[in-house]
Amino acid sequence: MHEFQELSISAPDEGAMRAAHDRWNSIAKPVGSLGALEDAVVKIAGLTGSPTIDLDKRCVVVLCSDNGVVEQGVSQSGGDVTVLIARNAARGISSINKMCEPVRIDCIPVDMGMRERVDEPGMRDCRIAAGTGDISRGPAMSRAQAVKAMQIGVDLVGELACAGYGIIATGEMGIGNTTTSTAIACALTGIVPQELAGPGAGLPEEGVRHKAKVIERALMVNDPDPSDPLDVLAKLGGFDIAAMCGVFLGGALYRVPIVIDGFISATAAYCAWLMRPECRYAMLASHQSAERAASTLLERMDLKPIICADMRLGEGTGAVCLIPLLDMALSLYSTGPTFADCGITSYKVEQ
């Protein structure tokens, strides 16, 4: 696996991180009292190379694709729902749009490979094919298609960075993609499907058991190589996950923080991390997904989600919830009174 090894990913700027940390410690409040929010700001400073942080222009990228494995009855909804929700996102009326509106987040839906085209001005066309193959019968896509999808994700971040976006949240729409994500997670971690398979959009227990059996079959039929994440991604994933993997790589390449949403997003982040461990520095974990496999992947990357609310809506809705929290933290970070301003002796920082 050599396809993305040539990306020039720099280490975090330690000086910017120290400056951000010192700024937090100068503010008239208990040291470290905003916890993970302080850590996130310091991390962003290290990624961007500056303790001055501007997240005023922000977006969520919703990567949409269909998955052939839906034919195996692994989801409560049919594959036709993918295009219906994607169309609503392009029209600005889906769940993700409504959650973005009050906090000024742009929503950018992208067709990576739905069965039907969405003829709406708000939909970006990066379509690779009309959905992926049924992973229980063969590979989801070719390796070349997986590389193409990933490159689209990398290039999209580059375009958005040039347009001035300071933070990008990840989202997806694709019925059946908790099945593809679980298959990838099982292949890369060695954990059996019965332990990782979850309800997705609302499967009952019997449906989850069936889902696990379908994933077992997919692993046997495709025999993915766990030492080669791209092989696993091509054989078991979806165009949405592959493109999102590229988004995480692009975040590290173009020095833009990328917010992980739920399980599907965490799976894409995990693939990117295995390919290029340095890209972890561009990742912010937003929330603890209700899907059982999500915590496993985040723990392996040593990423801690900030929000715990049992969310599992998808579309990037959990990821966008982090951004207003960062806004509040940055308001204090940028303009908060210091100990010197208040005439208070600074708190000692334990070494």
Q: What is the pLDDT of residues 33-51, one digit of tens each?
A: 999 999 999 999 999 999 9
pLDDT for res 1? 46
- What pTM does this model have? 0.96
Angle 146-229-286 (CA atoms, 0-180°, nearest 5)?
A: 90
pLDDT for res 291? 85
By annotation, the residues acting in catalysis are 315
pLDDT for res 350? 65
pLDDT for res 351? 57
Please provide the distance, in angstroms rounded to a whole number, between the alpha carbons at the two ends of the chain. Answer: 42
Residue segments in the chain with a per-residue pLDDT below the cut of 50: 1
CATH architecture assignment, domain 58-324: 3-Layer(aba) Sandwich (3.40)
**Integer Cα distance of 252 and 256 in angstroms:** 7
DSSP-derived 3-state class of residue 129: coil
Phi-psi region of 89 (alpha: psi -120 to 50; beta: other; left: phi over 0): alpha
CB 177 within 8 A of CB 291: no
Domain edges within the chain: 14-52+333-342, 58-324
